[in-house]
Amino acid sequence: MDSKQAELWSGCSYLQTILANKAGFCAGVRRAFQMTEEAGRDGYSWSTLGPLVHNDEVVQYFANSGIPPVDRLEEIQTAGIIIRTHGVPPDIMAQATALGIQIKDATCPLVARIHEAAQLLIQEDYDIIIFGDTEHPEVKGILGFCQERATVIADADQARVWRGGRKLGLISQTTKDESQFYEVAAVLLPSATEIRVINTICSATRQRQAAARELAQRVDLMLVIGDRNSSNTKTLTMECQKTGVRTWQIQSAADIYPEALTGVDKVGITAGASTPDWIIKEVLDRMMEFGDGAPQEQQEVKPAIENESQETGENAKEENFARMEAEMADLAMPNKGDIVKGIVIQVLDDEVMVDVGGKSEGIIPLREMTTKDANSAKDLVKIGDELEVLVLRWDDDGTILLSKKKVDSKRAMDKLEEDFNAGNMVDGTITGSVKGGLLVDVGVVAFLPASHVEDGYVKNLEDYIGKAYKFNIIEFNRHKKRGSQIVVSRKKLVEEERARQKEEFWASIQEGQTVRGRIKRIVDYGVFIDLGGFEGLLHVSEMDHVRISHPADVVKEGEEIDVYILGLDRDKQRVSLSRKKLLKSPWEIVLEKYSEGDIVDGKVVRIAPFGAFVEIEPGVDGLVHISQLANRRVEKPQDVVSVDQMIKVKILSIDPQEKRIGLSIREVAQDLDDIEVQEYLEQQEQPEQEQELISEDAGGVSAQLQESPEAESPDQE
């Protein structure tokens, strides 16, 4: 400090500097900064399309690193292009792709959200108003998504002279003043029959403005650090000026001169979203030259600090400035491993941006949102939701990487540990199968061994996927490195439930009842059926009235059927079942279906010396006596019929008591002959009638011939 400065500040040894708690790089700028730094290390040559951000020092930093800005794609001398935070119209992206230029898109996610909003409004047939600066690159990029259906309005005065249309959509440049945005919206309301307002102002912009306004009311001078071309810095400056405090916009520490600080006791400092941390630190270092008070954070300023002793002030100065330097180096709280609450301020498909109250927003990647499968973060949360998140790390660019999944898992593990220690059951849903068992969602992923799915062997584990059950935790080890930390079981619960059902079953079951059961197992000699707590045997002989080769020909596992309680052995706890009892017997069917004299189709099933047995219904055979085989004497039935031959037979007699049916082939032939004779006779009657008609016609013709003078007799011929 020279002698003039010393003279100016001889009476100002307690100058206090306070830094706004929201200042400097926003998450979008940090993201772009990190992407560009990474590009400089990947071995390719890159340029930025226009200044990466509106800050000359940042642009020069990357130019010195070999990543220069270019104004047009035609000027590119590098292999790839980095799209600036402000975004570009879609035709620029298409042009770069057509030219074979590699692209890294550093467009701020909030700007990309405006592009999506513009496309949505166009699809829904809205005309668009953009509240912003016509020449701002962000606005130029937005216009490219509006298909020439957008108008840019800079303020409420321009909105008053705008002539509206039928449907109007209002969006904003991210760095504009929110109160002015709503003023424009209010002016436009009468201008259209329908207006849709989408607030696309960046949350970081709102937070910085609010912090700056609050700080400005407590200081004598506000320093706003930022590039002269930075829109959000200009907005910050105007917000501070509106409070009535003297406000000074500077680009760097070099712009601070002592004369302007005469009579100032408290200085507030804020910075635009594109202002790098090293410039803010340089300004803070510069302010240290003008007083003994170390820079303070906005939320930690205490009125009593000016009355502290010199010794206390010195200690506080060193401690506070060290902490401030740590914060400027992105080492500020919250620390890695902290669980903090945050408010969702943006939701994209692949990530969620959360305000956690620090100088930078945090990002939750989709993979850290939930333990379940999810295609988009939009299906999980919405803007304004409060979340508990775990700080995974601070990236080099200052972005906080967060995890909701790990907080949810920790909370779930804590609850599961309590349930395990208390022996409580837990609810879960089976989500998939792995070797040896199933995976269960109980808040975290647990393992269900195949031997613990039921109280016996399970043939197909896939049948359980998607179903919800209660489980016992049989193993819990949250520090286990390999294998499952949580192992669950249904076996004991199933056994207890079956014991209860078994008791209820024996208390209510009686012979002669008809009950419904599920086929559990099929064996050669029958079927075991679950009757709800107890299994009964349906023997193959009781499955149907006809002979069955194998039970699987009639029923299948898992099928539900009605069965008749045929017998109970309570001592040995055995239940005999019958399905046959509930089915009509073949003889009942025959009596309902057939009568004596009917001619039916049948199959020869057996031949005896005295005739042939013919099946007319499954399980019902009738006898065609040898005398009824043909209209002639038959020596052997084989001379007329053969086994498995399909024939027509006439029912001669039905004896339900003896269960005998008499059949005849001969009478079928006789009946057919009778039918043929009758048909012949009917046909013979037809020609006689026709002959009479012909005779009548001939008589008429003869009469006509006799009356005609020109007719000649046959004799004359």
H/E element holding 141? Answer: helix 137-143
Kindly report, residue by residue over 104-154, the tens digit of the pLDDT. 998 988 888 899 889 999 999 999 999 999 999 999 999 999 988 899 999
pLDDT at 342: 86
Give the C-alpha separation, 373 to 446, whole Å: 16
Reported confidence tier of residue 54, pLDDT bands at 50, 70, 90: confident
Reported confidence tier of residue 435, pLDDT bands at 50, 70, 90: confident
Kindly report, residue by residue over 184-222, the tens digit of the pLDDT. 999 998 888 889 999 888 877 888 888 899 999 999 999
Regarding pTM above 0.85, the answer is no
Kindly report, residue by residue over 323-353, the tens digit of the pLDDT. 554 444 443 446 677 888 888 888 998 899 8
Q: What is the mean pLDDT of residues 706-712?
A: 43
Domains and CATH numbers, the chain: 3-19+208-328 (3.40.1010.20), 27-107 (3.40.50.11270), 110-201 (3.40.1010.20), 339-403 (2.40.50.140), 408-495 (2.40.50.140), 509-582 (2.40.50.140), 593-669 (2.40.50.140)
Reported confidence tier of residue 714, pLDDT bands at 50, 70, 90: very low
Indicate if 138 belongs to the active site.
yes
β-strands 611-617, 560-569 pairing:
unpaired
Could you tell me the two tokens for 494? 């199933």
Q: Which of 312-326, 347-361, 531-545 has the lowest mean pLDDT?
A: 312-326
Check whether 4 has a pLDDT greater than 70.
Answer: no
The alpha carbon of 446 is separated from its chain's Cα centroid by a whole number of angstroms, namely: 22
- Of 8 and 237, the structure prediction assigns the larger pLDDT to 237
β-strands 468-476, 425-434 pairing:
antiparallel
Q: What is the mean pLDDT of the chain?
A: 81
pLDDT at 695: 52
Choose, from 138, 239, 327, 542, the residue flagged as catalytic: 138
User: CA torsion 227→232→238→242, rounded to 10°?
Assistant: -140
Q: Where are the alpha helices (DSSP H) in 482-524?
A: 491-508
pLDDT at 311: 42
Q: What is the mean pLDDT of residues 697-703?
A: 48
Kindly report, residue by residue over 504-518, the tens digit of the pLDDT. 788 788 888 888 888
Kindly report, residue by residue over 358-405, the tens digit of the pLDDT. 555 788 999 899 877 788 989 899 988 999 888 887 664 556 889 998
Residues 6+ away with beta carbon under 8 Å from 431:
372, 439, 440, 441, 445, 465, 466
Q: What is the DSSP string of 595-629?
A: -TT-EEEEEEEEEETTEEEEEEETTEEEEEEGGGS
pLDDT at 296: 58
Check whether 683 has a pLDDT greater than 70.
Answer: no
